[in-house]
Structures are given as C-alpha cells and as structure tokens.
A and B are shown apart, each in its own frame.
Chain A
Amino acid sequence: MILTGADGLLKYGSGTCVKVRNWSLNISRDAIDVSCLNTYDREYVAGLRSATGSATLYYDPTQTTDRALLNSIFADNSDCGGTTCLETVSFFLNNCASGPGNFEAEAIITSVSPAVEVGAATAVQISFQISGPIDGTF
C-alpha cells in the first residue's frame, strides 16, 4: 500500500495531532575517517547520529495543542523546571497507528516562522533539533 500525505500526521506532546501541511525528518550519521597510512582507499566507522525536522502548521488560534507547540519557542530553561526545554514530537508516516513508519523523539523547537499571504491559509514553519535517540522504525 503506497501512503500519501493523507496518512501523515504530526503529534506534539501527549496532545492530539496538530494540523500540518507538511513535515520532514532528516536523520543522519557521521562517518568517521579511520584511513591509516599505507592505504589508498578511505575507510570509515559509524559515528554519532543526529536528526533535525521541520513542519508547516496551519495557524488556528482555537487549537491549544498547536499553539502550545508554537509557544514552546518562548519557554526558557527556568520555565521547564531548570532543564533544557525538550518537547516530545511524534512523526507519523502511517496515520496515528502504531507500527512501522512512526517516530517519536525529544526535540527542541529551534525556529518558528509565521507568514501571512493573501489568498492562502495562514501557516507557520517550524524547525526541530532532535535530542537523544529516535524511537521508531521505517
């Protein structure tokens, strides 16, 4: 079964899925060069993983979950109990159902970019920096 955008969702914290136009997740891993002398072909070992994400949300003032996600950019460490403000963000390729194609991670919201345009639904672009492991598989 080929999935489409209709199957994709983004969930913030323990709340309901937020209204998004799109989301993306970029998972990458460092390749550490361990080539030694007397060789002509580079060799690598796997290094640390990292991930970033982005999404475009429709702005709806009545949606508390969506607004909480956007307002987390204003939270200081002191607002988060003295620790880094990490939010649980869940990315769903395959609806909110459990199983493959769903990912959950702790993330810091690193940018929020609202934009208004004539003749278009008001949307806000946001970016995440994932912290720690990503729970889920393709």
Chain B
Amino acid sequence: MADFPAICPVSRRFKAAQFPTKRFTSISGAGTTRLYGSKGFDATLDVQFLVDDEHLVRITDNWDESYGTYLPITLPDAVVASNGELLDAIVPDYLEWHWAEPPSVESLNPGLHRVTVKLVAHLEING
C-alpha cells in the first residue's frame, strides 16, 4: 500500500458509494428493485492540487509506486484536510482507495502545475 503525498488540495469532490441494485421493470411499468449485496462500492474522490515541480513528481511517483490503479493507497490527513473525520465517517471502512485514472497535469506557469487526481474506493472480493 503506497502513501499518497501529504499535499493540501485546492478543491475536492466526493461521491458516496453506490450499492449493487438492479431495477426490473415489467411491461406495465411496475417493477421491483433487487439488492445483490449489503456493501457499498466505488465511492469516488476527485482532488485538485496547485503544486510546484517537486510535489508534481511526488504525485506521479505515487502513481508509479501504486502500479497505476493496481495497489491501494492511503490518504494522509493533508489530502482530506478539514474533512478528514467527515470523510472517514461517510466512507465505509471496508473500502480501499485506488487511483481511478492517471494524474492529469495542466502546467500554468514555470514551476506551477494544476494536477487533477481521481480516486475510487473499491470493494475487494476478499474485503
């Protein structure tokens, strides 16, 4: 498990876990929704950072150390700053954060970059 670098983000967007349900609708329009598990999965967290070259490298290093989306990562308090306890309360313990996609880097000025990081909290089969 790789530690994500402790950098304070400039924005953060969270989407709660979804549940494995499926809606079956009959010809009449009436239907029923089935629940296929009691655990949520795939909560998402999108964070943006304004960072210098050094911190940009630390973020991309974490992507490499995690083998992309393969290994789970731990989020330090700085990343969930001000919402740390709230995030812990609303994200089930059995979920593990992973990279959802490669980091996206927009260079704004010499030595200043806007990095968008998209994370997803997976429910592992052995979890």
Contact = CB atoms under 8 A, between A and B. Distances in A.
Contact of B109 (A37, A39, A47): A47
A39 B50 CA distance: 14
Interface in A27-41: 32, 34-39
Interface string B66-88: 00000000000000011100000
Interface residues of A, number: 10
Given A34-B50, A36-B81, A38-B82, A48 B109 contact: yes
Interface string B29-65: 0000000000000000000011000000000000000
Contacts of B11: 37
Nearest to B52: A45
Contacts of A36: 8-10, 49-50, 81
B52 to A, nearest CB: 8
Contacts of A35: 10
A37 B50 CA distance: 11
Given A37-B81, A37-B82, A38-B81, A32 B109 contact: yes
Q: In the complex, which of the residues B11, B12, B50, B108 has the most CB atoms of chain A within 10 Å of its own CB atom?
A: B50
Nearest to B8: A36
B75 to A, nearest CB: 13
B6 to A, nearest CB: 12
A34 to B, nearest CB: 5
Contacts of B108: 32
Ranked nearest first, the 5 interchain pairs of A and B with the lowest CB-CB distance are: A38-B81, A36-B8, A38-B82, A34-B50, A37-B81
12 contacts: A32-B50, A32-B109, A34-B10, A34-B112, A36-B50, A37-B8, A37-B12, A37-B81, A38-B8, A38-B82, A39-B8, A47-B112
